[in-house]
């Protein structure tokens, strides 16, 4: 049976980084809603053209189109053994639709990995992030500072804080997550596939916890 894995977690909890690592570890494709949308549009498929028309109009892509794109993605050869979903599903409605889609194909979610991290630590992580205005290199004032304050080690351009990384903006993003996406935790919580992963600590330490969780499903 295909091994489909879902990562849950607030912005800044590290789910993107860990999903990529697990993708390499399990040799499963790492897919996000954005990646699937872009690939579908570029493919020129019927659903891709529908999605492109909606995005060109400035409207949000509907759940129906998103689910058609997910269904399309799961038919590709590299997804036959399973995929690692990052940032999908975003709502309980999408989660219900995904369950129904997988059930029709004779599979199910094998692991739901919820990376849990305190809001204030997320604010510290994200608000400390700095980006080179020239080459895009990423730094952190605590964990990976530039050698010369305010200047990129690679190209020498100014290192700046993005608007999205200001503490007040981060807290607003966390509030949106709590209202819209956190109900997914309740949706999956009582399933044997659900694992709460402590997101505190070094990246390698958190990854070891994830590997231990998915090992239960091998």
**pLDDT tens across the length of the chain (218 residues):** 679 999 999 988 999 899 999 999 999 999 998 889 999 999 998 999 999 999 999 888 899 999 999 999 999 999 999 999 998 998 999 999 999 999 998 999 999 999 999 999 999 999 999 999 999 999 999 888 999 999 999 999 999 999 989 999 999 999 998 888 889 999 999 999 999 999 999 899 999 999 999 985 44
Catalytic residue among 3, 151, 171, 173: 173
Crossing angle of helices 63-74 and 46-56, in 10° steps, is 140
Is 215 one of the annotated active-site residues of the chain? no
Query: What homologous superfamily does CATH list for 3-29+76-214?
Result: P-loop containing nucleotide triphosphate hydrolases (3.40.50.300)
User: Is 136 within any annotated ligand binding site?
Assistant: no
Q: Which residues sit opposite 113 in a β-bridge?
A: 7, 195
**Annotated catalytic, 15?**
yes
Tell whether 174 is in a known binding site: no
Catalytic residue, from 15, 50, 73, 130: name it.
Answer: 15
Quick check: helix, strand or coil at residue 80?
coil
Backbone angles phi, psi at 15, to 5 degrees: -65, -35
The structure tokens listed for 6 are 């879902």
| Known active-site residue 125 | no
pTM for this predicted structure:
0.86
Q: Which of the 8 DSSP states describes residue 151?
A: B
Can the peptide bond before residue 86 be classed as cis, meaning omega within 30 degrees of 0?
Answer: no
Q: Does residue 150 contact residue 159 with C-beta atoms inside 8 Å?
A: yes
Identify whether 173 is a catalytic site residue. yes
Interatomic CA distance for residues 178 and 200, integer angstroms? 19
Residue 181 among known ligand-binding residues: no
Q: Can you name the residues that pair with 112 across neighbouring β-strands?
A: 6, 194
């Amino acid at each position: 049976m295909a091994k489909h894995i879902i990562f849950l977690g607030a912005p800044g909890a590290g789910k993107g980084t860990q999903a990529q690592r697990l993708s390499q570890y399990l040799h499963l494709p790492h897919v996000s809603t954005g990646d699937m949308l872009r690939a579908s549009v570029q493919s020129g498929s019927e659903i891709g053209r529908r999605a492109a028309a909606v995005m060109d109009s400035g409207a949000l892509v509907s759940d129906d189109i998103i689910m058609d794109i997910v269904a399309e993605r799961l038919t590709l050869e590299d997804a036959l053994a399973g995929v690692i979903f990052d940032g999908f599903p975003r709502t309980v409605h999408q989660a219900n639709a995904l369950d129904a889609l997988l059930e029709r194909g004779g599979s199910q979610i094998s692991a739901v990995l919820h990376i849990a991290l305190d809001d204030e630590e997320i604010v510290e992580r994200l608000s400390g992030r700095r980006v080179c205005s020239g080459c895009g290199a990423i730094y952190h004032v605590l964990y990976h500072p530039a050698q010369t304050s305010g200047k990129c080690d690679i190209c020498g351009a100014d290192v700046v804080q993005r608007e999205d990384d200001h503490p007040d903006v981060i807290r607003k993003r966390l509030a949106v997550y709590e209202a819209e996406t956190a109900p997914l935790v309740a949706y999956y919580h009582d399933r044997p596939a659900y694992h709460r992963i402590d997101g505190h600590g070094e990246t390698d330490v958190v990854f070891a916890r994830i590997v231990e969780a998915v090992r239960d499903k091998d």
